[in-house]
Amino acid sequence: MSLARAAVVAALALTATPALAHDVVPGVGGFYGGLLHPLLIPAHLLALAGIGLFLGQQQRPMSVGLLAVFTASLVIGVIAIVSAVSPMYQGEVVLGVAAVAGLLVALARPIRALLSLPLITIAGIAIMLDSVPDDMSMQRTFLALVGTVIAAFILATLIAEATRALAHDWQRIGVRILGSWIAASAILVLAVRLAR
Amino acid sequence: MSFERPALKAVLSLALVLASAPAWAHTGSVAGGFFGGLAHPVFGIDHVVAMVAVGLWGAFLGAPAIWLLPIVFPLVMACGGVLGILGVPIPAVETGIATSAVVLGLMVALAARPPLWVAAVLVGAFAIFHGHAHGAELPAGADAVAYSAGFVIATGLLHLCGIAFGTLAAWPAGRLAVRTAGGAIALAGVAFLALQ
């Protein structure tokens, strides 16, 4: 092999990159990767925590209704992805949702269901649009999205129910403080994204 | 082996260029970002004493200040952080941080009981300086969400330390201890001012 050929081979070998498939945990893709996605992506965790705390602060009928809307919006997000909608700024929208939800939790004021609907709907759709796995087959992508829908629903429901179970005043105050932390973190990261 | 041929030089140059690693703007790991953020306020003693003073004063003032101040602080701190991240200058940030220790420490030492809104505005005003410093120091390589969540949580935990110690004010001896701690924080603030 001539030196020139050897150099070309070396160039190709050195430039070869691992086939990353946007797995949150390396080697765990498809349905289980989708399940883990909301748990391991901090922005999604912030948004889901904010939404869950917010739902937990509401009266049960309204909370159940909003949770149903949230689930429907997650499914709408999947349909949008399957329909090849190419979103923009979905990551920023997820952070915006976390900031607004965190603020509402910190304020802990009664809010009409109609005013909450846009937040909940945007949250579900944006979380899904920001959860699209790269470089996967259609089937694996769909399975991953189904996993994400299930995980997001379970997480929001668990946090909402846990919040509702808090009976003492100091626990409710703790929830409001958590809301302020979520809002503060999300606002800061939004600023970082804008600055970059 | 000869490196005289231009084609060979070009191939080798190409190999070296292609082999170089890309300069990712988002290199930080989630765990590293979170723990980096968590450690950030703890290793700045001027931040630590001011955060503890907020908690002490809140506990000293009792409800609703005990929970309102720790909610106001991170939210306003985030606004200051946004200014820092976006590069909007605020004059005398370090002086403001040192002054926060002096003023908040004095409030505790003198057992000052201003109206709630005055306390909230005072704490909020100082939070802008702290947030600006945090925002300006946010490392570019860190995972922004995890880092921000880490340092907001660390800030909140420092408040809780102050609140926990401040609850001693329910007893006469504890009240003296809390006021003494406030005096020590104010003196530390004076030292920070003198060292600038």
Instruction: Report chain A's mean pLDDT, rounded to a whole number.
Output: 83
End-to-end CA gap in chain A: 47
- Using CB atoms, which residue from B1, B12, B152 is nearest to A181? B152
Residues of B in contact with A196 (CB under 8 A): 25
Residues of A in contact with B19 (CB under 8 A): 11, 14-15
A105 has a pLDDT exceeding 60 = yes
Residues of B in contact with A109 (CB under 8 A): none
Q: Rounded CA gap, B105 and B123, in Å?
A: 12
pLDDT for residue A26: 67
Residues of B in contact with A106 (CB under 8 A): 71, 75
Radius of gyration of chain A (CA): 20
Tally of CB atoms within 10 A around B94: 14
A-proximal residues of B, 76-135, CB under 8 Å: 77-79, 81-82, 85-87, 135
Q: Give the mean pLDDT of A118-144.
A: 87
A73 has a pLDDT exceeding 90 = yes
pLDDT for residue B1: 43
Q: Which helix (H) or strand (E) holds B35?
A: helix B30-42
- Contact at CB, A185 and B143, closer than 8 angstroms: no
pLDDT for residue A127: 93
pLDDT for residue A135: 63
> Is ipTM beyond 0.90?
no
Q: Is 0.80 surpassed by the pTM of this model?
A: no
Radius of gyration of chain B (CA): 23
Q: Rounded CA gap, A165 and A146, in Å?
A: 29
Q: Rounded CA gap, A57 and B81, in Å?
A: 28
Per-residue pLDDT of chain B (196 residues; tens, 9 = 90+): 444 455 545 544 444 433 333 333 333 455 567 887 788 778 888 888 988 999 888 888 888 888 888 888 889 998 998 888 888 888 888 899 999 999 999 999 998 888 889 999 999 999 999 889 888 877 666 677 788 888 888 888 888 888 888 888 888 888 899 999 999 999 999 998 888 7
CA A104 to each of CA A39, A65, A121, A149: distance values in angstroms, whole numbers, following the listed order: 22, 18, 16, 24
pLDDT tens figures, A22-50: 455 666 678 888 899 888 888 899 999 99
Q: Rounded CA gap, B46 and B122, in Å?
A: 17
Test mutation, B71, B138, B151, chain A, max A CBs within 10 A: B71
Kindly list the domain boundaries of chain A, sorted by start residue: 37-195
Residues of A in contact with B87 (CB under 8 A): 195
Q: Rounded CA gap, A131 and A186, in Å?
A: 18
Query: Facing residues of A166 across strands?
Result: none
Do B132 and B90 touch, CB atoms closer than 8 A? yes
Query: Facing residues of A28 across strands?
Result: A25
Number of helices (H), then strands (E), belonging to chain B: the values are 8, 0
- Contact at CB, B8 and A188, closer than 8 angstroms: no
